[in-house]
Structures are given as C-alpha cells and as structure tokens.
Amino acid sequence: MLVNTMGDIFNGNKELFKDTWIYDKWNFEKIYPVIKISFAGIGLEKLKLDDALTLLLDNIAEKNGIKLTKPTYALKFRELIIKLSDKNPVVILIDEYDKPIIDYVEEKTLHIAKENRKILRSFYSVVKDLDKYIKLLFITGVSKFAKVSLFSELNNLTDITIKKQYANITGYTEKEIIDNYGEYLKEVEEDLELDEKKVMEGMKRWYNGYSWDGKTFVYNPYSVISFLGDREFKNFWFKSGTASFLLKLIRERGIDVREYDKGLLSVSEEALDSYNINSINMTVLLFQTGYLTIKSKEIDKYSYALSYNLGYPNLEVRRSFYLFLGSELAGVQVDVHSSNMRKILSAFRSNDMELFIKVMRSIFASIPENLSSGRYESYYHIVIYLILMFIGTDIKVEEKTNKGVIDAVVKTENYIYIMEFKMSSAKSAMDQIKSKKYYEKYLSDDRDIICMGVAFSKEDRNVDDFIVEEIE
C-alpha cells in the first residue's frame, strides 16, 4: 500500500488524492518516471532469478517506449535508469527486496538462497554511481542483511525501520481513524450495538499495537479497512497470507514457541539490526516479519547500551501465529485446522471430552512422520498449546501452585479443566493431579472442576489413553 501510494504521487496522479492532506501540498505537475519492482510477483516459481529480472526490466522498458540493448540484467537495469531520466530523475521503488532469499532459507534450499544473494548483490550495486539519475530509491523487505552485504557498495542508504521520525509511516494512528473514518465507525456502532468507546477498545485489542520506537503505536491499515467493511471483529491478517518460510524454519529448528507468551523478550540493538543467513535469530526474524513488535526500549544506566523489549502486537497477530504454526505442525491446510479448532472449542464448552480426544487423535494422526519427533513430551505440549491458545479460551500453561506446576488449565463459562500430559500413562497423569491437589486452587470457584490425564504413545505418535474425573 505504501509503495503503491508513493508511485502514484511521483507519477502525478493528483485526482487519486482528492480530499486527502497531500492534495494541495505536493507539486503533481512535476512527474517523475517510476521504476517499480515487486519481487512477490516476479515469477520465480517458473524462472531463475536472473532470467526473471531480465524479463521484468524488458517489460518495464517496453511500457515506457524504451528498448534495452544491453545483454545482462545488471546492465539492463543501469540502461533503464539512465534512459528514463532524460527529463526528470527516476524514482525506484523495490518491494520485498529479499524475497528471492528468504523463500529459500530452509536447509534443503539454502544453496538457492545463496545463489540468489549473489545475483541481488550484483543487481542492487548498479545504482551506486547513478545518483544524478535518481530522485529516490525506496526499498521494503522482511529482513535485514547487514551480514550478507547486499548493499555493501551503497553507502548512501538510510535504514528508516526504527527511526522515530518514521514511526507512524506504515500504520494508522487512533486519531487518523476517528478523523477519517467517522461515518464508517458509526455504521459499525449501529451494527454491533456498541458505543464508539467500545468499538475503539475492540479495534485497539485486535488491530493496534505495532511500534518501531516503543512509543508510537499504530493500527494495521489492511485490517482496519477490512473491519470497517465487514463490521465484525475477526482475523484479517490470516487472509492476507503469512511468511511460509518462517513457519518451516520454526518447525525445522524445533523452536519452543511457548517462550513468546511468557513475557516480553529482550533483544540487543546489534541483534535487532542483523540477519545472518547461516545463523538466523528466530526472535529477530519474528520481529522482521511482523509477528513481534517493539513494546519498549531500555538504555543500560552504566554502558548506555540500547535494547528492545519485543512482544505480540495484538490479538489478531497472536491468533494468526497460533493458527498458521498449528496448521504447519499438523501438516494440514489452514481451513482444515481451523475447523478442528471449532470442534475443540465446542467440546470444552459442553464438557465433551470424548469429542476433544477424538479431534486430537485426528490431528496427531494427520501429522506426517517426518514432521514430528514422536519422542519428546514437549512436542505434544507445543501442539496442544497452539490449539488451546488459538481457540481463545481462558488458558494458563504451566500454571504454578504451592505444590507444583499444572501443564494446562482451561476455563470456560461453566467448567474449569485441569490437564496433565504424560508419555507414560493416563493414570500417572491423573495421580499427579490428585497427589499434588492441583484442583484446590479452584475450589472456591462456582464452576465445575474437571481433571484430565492424557497419555501419549511414542510408537503410535498419538493419544494413547485418557482419564477424566470431576471434583465433587
């Protein structure tokens, strides 16, 4: 959205901005030629990167009435910039600059990522000595490549990702939503039978929370516009797609994602500013892909070193992460996994533990053998954790009591479930609940207390047995 908007501004498409702030504050009469390159649609599914770049540059030249004569993609790029700038300097907009690398960072395709890195370094280096032909070079992407030297020859680039003066450039502030979408908000209020305060509270919980300076927090424009159109609080991030390479890396490396729910994660400035293709920091990558955001900054009082505290921006992103990763670990399509989640939620609400186990067995049975270890208790914990977190129940994982730690506590309107998972037997899981009296913490609650011991089989890689008992 930002890249397209910039393109229309420099192309002089004034009427597109009627009734907006910039309409009478920009000289739309002066038109700059725009070279827009989106690596999301460059055709790497069928073509190698160098061939795809060559074809793309030829197409851009043809649309501008130019014929390129140079033999290679790098020389063609240089030729295109120079020929387009005969009247005014060129604006170069590059979207998802790193996609040809990040799509191949899995171990089995890492050689493609490294080859594409060489090609991109050669491609981007073209602009080094062409300052007089270029009005603006604007680049967006998921990751930072401080250590892979994509831009090692370009010493005039400024990274604005976490610069405070650009903190609200990619999102809506609350004031902007109220000032510009007032009529739509009133329609939402009428449909949902909520006042403006409640609507804004819901929007804040679902779609706000993105920050690049720890002070300015903005809303996701795509989600806000979708919400105002549908007039329902739901997950729109999920529909806009996700970074599939990220989920594959998490699965491949066996990352325990439960750590991201235990509080804010502290990351040094150096770590946040780096990306090593051979040793990827998953926490930093989650920030770079939008799943984590800067909640606050800290400066060490002795060394003055800067660090950042990261966390999920909002409910929408958190639920998307659980859904996509749960689907990836289960080896099924997102819609199938989502359907299973609805069944599990229904099971908890109606105290139908037979249905819960039935769905769980179906989920584990669908996981291809190469996706799961089948040996480690934590694997089952993570899969169940993602399921419970996604369905939106009141859940506590590794809940502490005065006598131990409960694996999971799930609360619904009428029930409290105390759950223990074992690789040995369901009886040993139930015995632990009883011997440590995990239920005592909830005896003052009016809801029914249901204890559940679940055992997993290493051989079958599935739920082996379960016991359910209600506390009288």
> Per-residue pLDDT tens for 174-214?
999 999 999 999 999 999 999 999 999 999 999 999 999 99
Instruction: Tell me how many domains the chain contains.
Output: 4
- In what order do the strands lie in the sheet containing 404-411? 394-401, 404-411, 415-422, 448-457, 462-471
330 SS3 class = helix
* Bridge partners, residue 467, by sequence: 453
Do residues 223 and 248 both lie within one domain? no
Check residue 46 and give its pLDDT.
87
Asked whether the whole model's pTM tops 0.75, one would answer yes
CA 110 to chain centroid, in Å, comes to: 22
Residue 359's domain is classified under what CATH number? Answer: 3.40.1350
Check residue 374 and give its pLDDT.
47
Asked if residues 233 and 279 have their Cβ atoms less than 8 Å apart, the reply is no
User: DSSP assignment of 252-273, as one string?
Assistant: HHT--GGGGGSSPEEEEHHHHT
Check residue 149 and give its pLDDT.
58
Q: Give the whole-angstrom CA distance, residue 135 versus residue 89.
A: 5
User: Tokens 């105290």 sit at which residue?
Assistant: 351
* Residue type present at position 351: N
Residue percentage of the chain with pLDDT more than 90: 59
| H or E, element range at 355 | helix 353-366
Q: Give the whole-angstrom CA distance, residue 469 versus residue 471.
A: 7
User: Tokens 């929007």 sit at which residue?
Assistant: 203
Check residue 126 and give its pLDDT.
92
Check residue 146 and give its pLDDT.
40
Q: Residue 419: how many CB atoms within 10 A of its CB?
A: 26
Do residues 357 and 465 both lie within one domain? yes
Do residues 179 and 105 both lie within one domain? no
Nearest CA to 248 out of 327, 140, 362 is that of 327
Q: Which domain holds residue 182?
A: 172-228
Handedness of CA 311, 313, 315, 317 (dihedral sign): negative
Check residue 394 and give its pLDDT.
78
Check residue 147 and give its pLDDT.
41
Positions in the chain short of pLDDT 70? 144-149, 152-153, 240-243, 254, 274-278, 369-378, 393
Check residue 324 and give its pLDDT.
83
For residue 108 the two structure tokens come to: 């089995």
Q: Give the whole-angstrom CA distance, residue 131 versus residue 89.
A: 9
Whether 3 maps to a domain, the answer reads: no
Do residues 150 and 41 both lie within one domain? yes
Residue 299 main-chain phi, psi, to 5 deg? -120, 120
Whether 11 maps to a domain, the answer reads: no
Q: Residue 111: how many CB atoms within 10 A of its CB?
A: 10
Do residues 102 and 77 both lie within one domain? yes
For residue 434 the two structure tokens come to: 């009883």
